[in-house]
Structure 1
Amino acid sequence: MILRYLFINHKYSIVLTYFLTILENLLELLYPFVIGVTINELLKNRYGSLILLICMWLVHTITGVSRKIYDTRTFNSVYSHLVTLVVLEQNKQGIPKSQIIARSTLTREFVYFFERDIPEIISALFGFFGALVMLFIYDIQMGFYCLTLLIPLFIINHIYIGKSIELNRKLNDRLEDEVEILTDCKSEKVYQHYQSISKLRIYLSNAEAANYGLMELFSIILAVVILVRTLQLPGVKPGDIYAVISYLWNFLQSFSNIPFLVQQFSRLKDIGDRVKLKIS
């Protein structure tokens, strides 16, 4: 498995980037709570909590800048290693040059997975589990309301996964034929080729948009229920209201990237089936 191979051979540098990503997300998770406490303290003319907020903000900024700088160096090195391996191995297997060129480009998706998708997954998990735990702390009933959103989430994405796999397979079939079609350079074939690619990408985008739209409808309902419940909490303070709304927003935002991530997993699965490497 290519993903496993990449991780094993670059594990230390990759783990460090994810450590910084986790630290960054942990600090982001604490923001609503700290800001909520700060609001409540400021309303009492107490300013000491501002120091904690400022210090946390500075640490979060330094962590984010460090991660971005280190990520670029790490994953460009990973890509150079992988694409060289793919080209040489595919050539040994006697794969046509046109397909090797296409697959060397598609291989970039595996590096994107580590560089972009896993941090997105980490952020989504923090947004989901972290926000859910905090909402349970503020009110158990609100926590259970949030859990009900998992039912439509599962049903919608179960349907979406099958559609995404099928469309990505057809799209990658087209991309593998691209070099050969452009080499022949017959106007009708070139036109049909790009029309097909355009249609498939539109279908993928429409499927992703439909997934997102359906989830947003359920999110709106949940948001209204949580807001009403928050105002009914006994002794609720302005800072608490802010924190609950922020954690609710984080919880709902954790679902926003699911359609994109499902599509990426489908795309990687198909690319992995095409790019067979003899990895020891």
Structure 2
Amino acid sequence: MLKDGPITIPALLRRFWRRIGLTWLLTLFETALTALIPLFIGFAIDGLLAQDTHALFQLVIVMAALIVVSVARRAYDTRVFGTVRVEVGKAQAARGREQPISMLNARLGMGRELVDFLENDLPMVMAALVQLVVSIIVLLAFDTMLAFAGAVAVVAMLLIYALFHRRFYRLNGHLNQQNERQISILEARKPRRLLSHLSHLRRIEVRLSDTESGLYGAIFIVLLGVVVFNLWYATTTLHITIGAIFSVVTYSWEFVDSAIALPVSLQGWSRLSEITKRINPAT
């Protein structure tokens, strides 16, 4: 059972740290194997061009291990975080006896979002960080300029997100507040009031979507610039094999893919910050 303290991400981690820690270890192992695959593909290409299949067999072993770990991790995740959701719901129901049903119902859904963050977003951040580090190391092994381009892109991406954080927090607050009223509005059975409620939700969601579009448009321009620059630099400046060029381009794209996970998670954290404050009003 959760204690009487606030229901927060740190509180859930303290209560379930053994189970969650194991899922995260499996996630990191899975990510490390995934990060190695493009490098082994590059080795396999060069090996096959030289009539050598040794690197190809190494690639098969890595991919087989990845399949086993990923299947086991997903099966375990479902059971662990399902238990956490039950405990969070029980704690919220016990503390919310005096709350209006509409508010309690909405906040039960918000509480599940905390667990969703632990199950989906935080592992995604860890996986992204591992992939970023591996990508930077591999690119650095080929040429310093390739890694430097990636590092500059990460800094630019975080600065861009900082410009949007307060707006995300404010809009998510409006959305959560409106959702808390939904059941009471439905109980009133007044079509005009319901239409006004649904229209209000739509306006907030459109504003959130427009904000996301602006954020990710700006970030994608920066990150795709890294791929184009690294492709140009590798083919015009470096004297490397075809397999190595493939690895450079692949790890540049992996860098982009993993870097995108960071603002996604930061956006989720902005929403969770508002939710945590809302479901723990006494803290």
TM range (shorter): over 0.9
After superposing the two structures, state which structure 1 stretch, 142-151 or 187-196, moved more: 142-151
CA apart distance, 1:136: 0.8
8 Å CA contact 1:13–1:74 kept in 2: the answer is yes
After superposing the two structures, state which structure 1 stretch, 22-31 or 126-135, moved more: 126-135
**Alpha-carbon separation, structure 2, partners of 1:81 and 1:221:** 45
Alignment correspondent of 1:57? 63
1:173 paired residue among 170, 174, 177? 177
1:268 aligns with 2:279: no
* Partner deviation per Cα, 1:121-157 (whole Å, 9 max, x = no partner): 1122122222112111111111112222134312310
1:126 paired residue among 110, 123, 130? 130
Q: Give the letter for the 1:156 counterpart.
A: I
**Alpha-carbon separation, structure 1, partners of 2:155 and 2:9:** 30
Q: Give the letter for the 1:126 counterpart.
A: V
User: Structure 2, unaligned stretches of length 5 or more?
Assistant: 1-5
8 Å CA contact 2:135–2:252 kept in 1: the answer is yes
Cα distance, 1:173–1:19 mapped onto 2, change above 3 Å? same
Matches within 5 A, 1:1-280: 1=6, 2-91=8-97, 94-276=98-280
**Alpha-carbon separation, structure 2, partners of 1:53 and 1:154:** 34
* Partner deviation per Cα, 1:98-140 (whole Å, 9 max, x = no partner): 2112111211101101111112111221222221121111111
Runs of 4+ with >4 A deviation: none
**Alpha-carbon separation, structure 1, partners of 2:122 and 2:175:** 23
Greater RCO, CA 8 A, separation 6+: 1
User: Structure 1, unaligned stretches of length 5 or more?
Assistant: none
CA apart distance, 1:19: 0.7
CA apart distance, 1:277: 7.9
8 Å CA contact 1:86–1:277 kept in 2: the answer is no
Secondary structure in 1 matching 2:163: helix
Q: Give the letter for the 2:79 counterpart.
A: R
**Alpha-carbon separation, structure 2, partners of 1:147 and 1:113:** 26
8 Å CA contact 1:89–1:277 kept in 2: the answer is no
**Alpha-carbon separation, structure 2, partners of 1:95 and 1:217:** 46
8 Å CA contact 2:32–2:131 kept in 1: the answer is no
Q: Give the letter for the 2:84 counterpart.
A: V
**What's the TM-score once normalised by structure 2's chain length?**
0.93
Q: Give the letter for the 1:213 counterpart.
A: G
Q: Give the letter for the 2:169 counterpart.
A: I
**Alpha-carbon separation, structure 2, partners of 1:142 and 1:255:** 15
**Alpha-carbon separation, structure 1, partners of 2:150 and 2:264:** 22
